[in-house]
Amino acid sequence: MRERALERLSAFIAFASRTHSPYQAAVIRIGYGFFVTCYLLREWPNRRVLFGDHNPWSLTMARALVSDTHAFTVLTWSGGRWWFECVYLGAIAAAVLLMLGWRTRGTAVLFLVGVLAIENRSPFAGDAGDDIIRIMAVYLAFTRCGRVWSLDARRDGSRAGDAGRDRAGPALWLTLAPPLLWASCFHWDGWLGVFWVMWSLQGLCLALDRWAPRHAMRSLLDSGAAMLHNCAMLVIAAQICFIYASAGLYKSHGTKWQDGSAVYYAMQLDLFRPWPWLTGLVSANMLLVFVLCYGTVIMQISFPFTLMYRKIKNVLLAVMILEHVGIAVILGIPFLSLAMIVSDLVFLPTALLVWADGRFAVLVRRLRERREQYRGGPCLEGS
């Protein structure tokens, strides 16, 4: 009996020490990076009014709110324009680098700092899509989101385990030390303690990769990182289920949702009528409006329970993605819909993502072959 228990415990530890769902982590990494990049570029003309030195939500009020809520934002450290511009541009750069998968262990943390800085500076300027990204950016920093479909994966494949040739990783690690030290001396916050732990563990990993890649400590750190990744992915999935379930339950108590007219009244608001002719066309069909109301509530409440049934879950997932696309087009809420679509992609089947990876690899190989043939064609004819 004891031996069987030890065998099960060993099997569980071995299972937990493997990195699961690397493709899903890569998908949400690309999606969230794309979301933040598009959002910040879209708000570029209005950035100083929404988040900067021209913000009606003054620096004094922002500092008071941050002090009460214990939120983290580097934009309350200074009210100057150039400090804000550097943080804003840095957030865009971190989002782009994370989307490309360059040094994801570092850029994921910088992405988190940028998202928290922008969102917590003006918490009343965004919508639910901003809230989702703010939460998911925290979880994403603890995942191994660069194992596939990233520049990190390409570099690791070409380097073949030779850590001695890595220069950018230690350089980035050393570059982050002075800002952390300066912030700790003048603007200490609990979040900085978390960042110091991350920075120290990354330095230990870099040192072991360079001088003792086969040491037992390196294997222990790798197993711990895999477990942390798996927990973060599980929390992301649970968070999405909680969002849908709570939204559906709140809707079910509303009288307008109960009589099937909530969507109709929402489409009568000028704020949600980017295409009046399209909105009028949909709202004129009361049967369609009734189906949309009840279908939304049923899908949101039932979604967490369909995860145990793969085929039903896949069908419902496709329907919900189409629903978010419809919300983005008809009601004019593109960023909320994009945030939810990206979050939903964490439930995509691994087999589908692996198949897509294989098809993309075949396409790239064919393009390279055609390019080589095009380059070599004139030489063969001339010879």
Residues 276-302: tens digit of each pLDDT: 999 999 989 999 999 999 999 999 999
pLDDT at 163 over 60: no
pLDDT of 159 higher than 70 = no
Rounded Cα gap, residues 270 and 91, in angstroms: 32
Q: What is the pLDDT of residue 160?
A: 59
- Whether pLDDT at 102 is above 90: yes
Helices (H) and strands (E) in the chain, counts: 19, 0
| Percentage of the residues of the chain whose pLDDT score is greater than 70 | 96
Q: What is the pLDDT of residue 15?
A: 87
Residue 138 banded pLDDT, cuts 50, 70, 90: very high
This prediction has a pTM of 0.92
Given a cut of 60, is residue 380 above it in pLDDT? Answer: no
Mean pLDDT for the stretch of residues 359-380: 77
Residue 111 CA to residue 115 CA, distance in Å, equals: 6
Q: What is the pLDDT of residues 79-99, one digit of tens each?
A: 889 999 999 999 999 999 999
* Interatomic CA distance for residues 163 and 213, integer angstroms: 8
Instruction: Find out whether 252 and 301 touch, Cβ atoms under 8 Å.
Output: yes
pLDDT at 164: 57
The helix (H) or strand (E) run that includes residue 376 is helix 350-382
Q: How many CB atoms lie within 10 A of CB 189?
A: 17
Per-residue pLDDT reduced to its tens digit, 23-68 = 999 999 999 999 999 999 999 999 999 999 898 898 999 999 998 9
Q: Is the pLDDT of residue 381 over 50?
A: no
Per-residue model confidence (pLDDT) at position 383: 39
Average pLDDT estimate for 246-271: 91
pLDDT at 229 over 50: yes
pLDDT of residue 378: 52
Mean pLDDT of the 223-237 span:
95
Structure-token pair, residue 363: 């396409």
What is the distance in angstroms between the CA of the first residue and the CA of the last residue of the chain? 77
* Range list of β-strands (E), 63-217: none
What are 173-207's pLDDT values in tens digits? Answer: 999 999 999 999 988 888 999 999 999 999 999 99
The pLDDT of residue 209: 87
Can you read off the two tokens belonging to residue 90?
């840095």
Residue 245 CA to residue 215 CA, distance in Å, equals: 46
Q: What is the mean pLDDT of the chain?
A: 90
pLDDT at res. 345 = 94
25: Cβ contacts below 8 Å, ≥ 6 apart: 143, 144, 145, 147, 229, 233
Position 376 scores a pLDDT of 65
pLDDT above 90 coverage of the chain, percent: 64
